[in-house]
Structure 1
Amino acid sequence: MTKQSKHKIINWGIIGLGNIANKFAKDLITIKDAQLYAVASRSQEKADDFASTYNAIKAYNNYEALVKDSNIDAVYIATPHALHKENTLLCLEHGIAVLCEKPFAMNAEEVSIMISKAKEKKVLLMEALWTYFLPHYQYVLQELNNKTYGNILKIEADFGFYREFDDTTRLFKKSLGGGSLLDIGIYPIFVALSTLGIPKDIETDATFFENGADSSCSMIFKYDHEITANLKSTLLEKTPTEAIFYCEKGTIKINSGFFMPTTVTIISNDKEKTIDFNYKTIGYNYEALHFNDLLRKGKTESDIMTFNFSKQLIKLLDDVRTHIKLEY
């Protein structure tokens, strides 16, 4: 069974101490009744530095030692994509609840194995796609579900930034799932899936780095009634990084940085208004709060980021990879 915290405070562990782990740790500090209890890296020095920065009680130089710590209630996995399955299974085998960074794993087969193990062990498991839990995104979903501005006619969503190619870094390393699709293309795809569902057809076009990792990917998801989602990810240029929903009676635009805390602009009846959600954090606290709530209630699956949704998301990523002939 999922371990409900023995104490009032939920003790978190973090495996993998890169950039995103730092952001998660900063926001975890802002949550009442939760604390960063332990961190693990393959480097003791890195683990010690991270623990010192965020006041973690324990710092381990291997992941196995962390999962054997009986004080841990939940683990946030922030390792490279290719290690997500292995790290998740390690935690689940020890009965520890897992919040695993997106993409959940490298492909649908790996995700299926992870979910099966969580069900077998009756332990909470959730994909950490933080956008789903952000107030501005939940607001947009509500407006779309309520058909406040009528049905969706078209979606446009992009995510792009420029980085100089470096095959030694995780972002570009193909063996670790590097490239634009798994790292940032997942966000535009998530937008389409969470609002329009599974497309009936997909068109794609991609460019590649010299090592075979994708440098950009353009996708058109086609739905019934000629509704389309035009999606793009790229590591070659900075793009607006907006999500725009063109509806029958107005347009909803999630402004630049749509995947993170930002504002929403509504254009309807020749009027325009922008809603500020007054974010005070980086934004990772929202998924952590949801996860803590699930853990306290003894739940083994999120009612927002469901297993079925995670399976559909990774299946779409697999389908796009098949279209562009990208293999890891």
Structure 2
Amino acid sequence: MANVVRWGILGTGKIARAFATALKDVPGAQLAAVASRSLEKAQAFAQEFGAAQAYGGYQQLADAAGIDLVYIATPHPQHAENALMALRAGKGVLVEKPFTMNLREAEQVVTLARSRRLFLMEAMWTRFLPAFDEVRRIIASGEIGTVRQVVADFGFTAGFGAEHRVFNPELGGGALLDLGIYPLSIATALLGPVAGIKAQAEMGDTGVDVQTGFTLRHEGGALSVCSCSFQARTPCELTVSGSRGHVRMNTMFHRAKSVTVTLEDGSSRTVDTPYLGNGYVHEVMEAQRCFGAGLLESPAMRLDETLALMGVMDEIRRQIGLSYDSDRKSVRPAHAA
């Protein structure tokens, strides 16, 4: 059992279910516990996915013995508080995107993890998929020349009521935090740090953005053009263009199973990039690899990059006039016992 990583999951929603499903496909992964605000929901989840323990409160799981890493799958506004709770209890933490609601919260979480020397990572699963690795390999090979632009979109028609979390400001609703983080994260990973930001949005009746577009100028001059929408079913593709051609992460880029390279001479080729299980397997494997090696963060999703991304989203929100309660209040100080 020396190589087994014992996971605890906070939350029992859709993303928690996807993560628990992935754990079954990862060697050495064990679902040790799940927690919900409802003991009945936690027990039902535990029974379905084979968790050894079920708790009717998040603090109970954080304090429980026999847990190595905690996956935060609660609503966006609870991420910072829950991550700090788990870190204070001495657990390593994997936080679902968006990492927190804003940069200030993210800095508190990262500061505590570093001071306690505990593993911490943002669960941006697309960054660990074979398709993304292949795109980076193609870029590094020089096949498409010098890369100067990324274009990416992520949109679907959200036919939910106003009370649904994607439209509810109290639950961190809005297209940017839910969808825009995907193209933003990959564009930055491929083109480097952001040096300039221009954003526009359409705001919905509940006060959150229902679609947002933003153009980023990266250090070195390359540009990325990104959009996210709850009102349009977009192709959900990401294209990286260079001086000699382009490579496209085929629909849908956040879970692409192939990439296509097209060059200036008109030739093209498609590379199959299948992923394991439901796709979340790869981020679990990376978290476990890092934890087992005693690393405090993943070199594939560095904490400084997570902080930079939160700062970019703060600026996009400032430009489109989107704020949340989290921007006006603070979570418990990171140094608290």
Q: TM-score of the superposition, structure 2-length normalised? A: 0.92
Give how far 1:225 is off: 7.2
Which of residues 107, 110, 126 is equivalent to 1:115? 110
Relative to structure 2, which stretch is displaced further, 197-206 or 68-77? 197-206
Secondary structure of the corresponding residue to residue 82 of structure 1: helix
Aligned residue in 2 for 1:156: 151
Residue type at the aligned position of 2:282: Y
Aligned residue in 1 for 2:333: none
In the alignment, is the contact (CA less than 8 A) between 1:27 and 1:282 conserved in 2?
yes
Give how far 1:146 is off: 3.5
Indicate the RMSD between aligned Cα atoms, in angstroms: 1.4
Aligned: 1:312 with 2:292: no
Q: TM-score of the superposition, structure 1-length normalised? A: 0.95
Query: Which sections of structure 1, spanning at least 5 residues, go unmatched?
Result: 1-5
Which of residues 279, 282, 286 is equivalent to 2:282? 286
Secondary structure of the corresponding residue to residue 253 of structure 2: coil
Residue type at the aligned position of 2:243: E
Query: Which sections of structure 2, spanning at least 5 residues, go unmatched?
Result: 325-337
Residue type at the aligned position of 2:227: K
Percent same amino acid at aligned positions? 36
Distance 1:23 1:95, change over 3 A: same
Aligned residue in 1 for 2:137: 142
Aligned residue in 2 for 1:3: none
Residue type at the aligned position of 2:311: K
Aligned: 1:295 with 2:297: no
- Give deviations 1:93-117, integer Å, cap 9, x for gaps: 0100000001110011100000010
Secondary structure of the corresponding residue to residue 232 of structure 2: coil
- Give deviations 1:290-309, integer Å, cap 9, x for gaps: 11111111111111111111
Aligned residue in 2 for 1:36: 31
Aligned residue in 1 for 2:77: 82
- Give deviations 1:209-254, integer Å, cap 9, x for gaps: 1111100001111347763211100000100000011111111000
Distance 1:237 1:297, change over 3 A: same
Distance 1:114 1:282, change over 3 A: same
Aligned residues: 323
Aligned residue in 1 for 2:8: 13
In the alignment, is the contact (CA less than 8 A) between 1:17 and 1:40 conserved in 2?
yes
The whole-number CA distance in structure 1 between the counterparts of 2:149 and 2:91 is: 41
The whole-number CA distance in structure 2 between the counterparts of 1:183 and 1:271 is: 36
Secondary structure of the corresponding residue to residue 139 of structure 1: helix
Distance 1:316 1:149, change over 3 A: same
Aligned residue in 2 for 1:273: 269
Relative to structure 2, which stretch is displaced further, 231-240 or 261-270? 261-270
Which of residues 216, 235, 243 is equivalent to 2:238? 243
In the alignment, is the contact (CA less than 8 A) between 2:144 and 2:241 conserved in 1?
no
